[in-house]
């Protein structure tokens, strides 16, 4: 079946989809993006992702290319045309096209690109084996709270980890604290059962899945603590895990070659994943079928 992409007002065959070489997204990484999982045909945590998209655009003073209601229609139409049930939807919005210049004027027309890609959300292997991660120095720019397409440091960090035989990188700041994963938020469960993740202090992306998990954990009266932690603390934690829109909750079983806990996927990550999936199906007050006012 041919895949379709959406580019600036048109649904086009994926293989032929393109933007102009003078697009500022290409020339300056002057663009933001979102990734939304579609599970059983439903956009997961749609509201959280759209809210964050609007925030990212506002931080960079890029205009929203269409109303949110229109954006939602395009997302649904793209899902329909691609006939996907379980998939990841990617949306990039750039400041637009202009002759290459560090300065930019106010009148640019933002470029909007959307694609969907089938996904296997069973994550069977990662759940059975758990992930191994490696500490890599966080060399990203000072605004990782904005979801920009400037992903080269994260991509290089992940490649470095893979070349060393790990599955992913956990980024570490200049003070030795974990910021987040290459494309996910990082969590640990301490010996006395606290669930710890770094605060959204401007040094991480405030994950939509992270927010949902905090909501779910509070419902179950689990103790969530927001504070930075080091690689050494994570290595001696009872459990570790990551969260993201495309992987939900995945256990981390080793860090820099040292097993976390007993080196096997742990029960807290497993239960949180199950409850997060229940939440995304409408349990626990999830905003399913959300339409903006």
Sole binder of ligand PDD in the list 183, 197, 235, 280 (CB under 6 A): 183
Sole binder of ligand PDD in the list 132, 185, 197, 254 (CB under 6 A): 185
- Take residue 45 and report the two structure tokens written for it: 């945590």
Sole binder of ligand PDD in the list 32, 113, 196, 208 (CB under 6 A): 208
Q: CA torsion, points 16, 21, 22, 27, in degrees to nearest 10?
A: 110
C-alpha radius of gyration, the chain, whole number: 19
- Closer residue to ligand PDD, CB minimum distance, 98 or 286: 286
Burial 248-266 (b: 16+ CB within 10 A, else e): bbbbbbbbbeeebbeeebb
Q: Is 148 in the site for ligand PDD (CB under 6 A)?
A: no
Site map 239..258 versus ligand PDD, x via CB under 6 A:
----xxxx------------
Instruction: Identify the residue whose tokens are 């899902």.
Output: 79
How far apart (Å, rounded) are the C-alpha atoms in residues 186 and 204? Answer: 10
Q: Is 180 in the site for ligand PDD (CB under 6 A)?
A: yes
Shortest distance in whole angstroms from residue 140 CB to ligand PDD: 8
Dihedral of alpha carbons 55, 276, 123, 250, sign? positive
Sole binder of ligand PDD in the list 158, 198, 210, 273 (CB under 6 A): 210
Shortest distance in whole angstroms from residue 194 CB to ligand PDD: 21
Binding site for ligand PDD (CB under 6 A): 35, 180, 183-185, 205, 207-210, 243-246
């Amino acid at each position: 079946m041919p895949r379709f992409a959406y580019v600036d007002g048109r649904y086009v065959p994926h293989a032929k989809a393109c933007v102009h070489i003078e697009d500022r997204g290409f020339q300056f990484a002057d663009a933001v993006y979102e990734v939304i999982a579609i599970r059983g045909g439903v956009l997961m945590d749609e509201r959280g992702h759209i809210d964050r998209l609007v925030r990212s655009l506002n931080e960079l003073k890029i205009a929203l290319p269409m109303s949110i209601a229109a954006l939602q229609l395009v997302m649904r139409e793209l899902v329909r045309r691609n006939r996907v049930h379980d998939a990841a939807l990617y949306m990039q919005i750039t400041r637009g096209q202009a002759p290459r210049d560090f300065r930019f004027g106010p009148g640019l027309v933002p470029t909007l690109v959307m694609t969907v890609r089938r996904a296997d959300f069973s994550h069977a292997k990662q759940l059975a084996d758990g992930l191994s991660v490696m500490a890599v120095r966080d060399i990203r720019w000072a605004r990782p709270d904005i979801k920009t397409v400037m992903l080269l440091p994260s991509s290089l960090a992940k490649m470095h980890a893979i070349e060393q035989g790990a599955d992913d990188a956990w980024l570490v700041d200049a003070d030795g604290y974990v910021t987040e994963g290459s494309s996910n938020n990082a969590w640990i469960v301490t010996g006395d059962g606290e669930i710890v993740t770094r605060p959204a202090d401007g040094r991480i992306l405030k994950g939509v899945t992270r927010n949902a998990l905090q909501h779910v954990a509070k419902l179950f009266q689990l103790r969530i603590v927001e504070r930075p932690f080091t690689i050494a603390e994570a290595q001696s934690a009872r459990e570790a895990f990551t969260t993201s829109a495309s992987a939900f909750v995945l256990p981390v079983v080793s860090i820099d070659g040292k097993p976390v806990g007993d080196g096997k996927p742990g029960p807290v990550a497993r239960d949180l994943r199950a409850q997060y999936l229940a939440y995304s199906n409408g349990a626990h007050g999830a905003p399913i079928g959300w339409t903006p006012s």
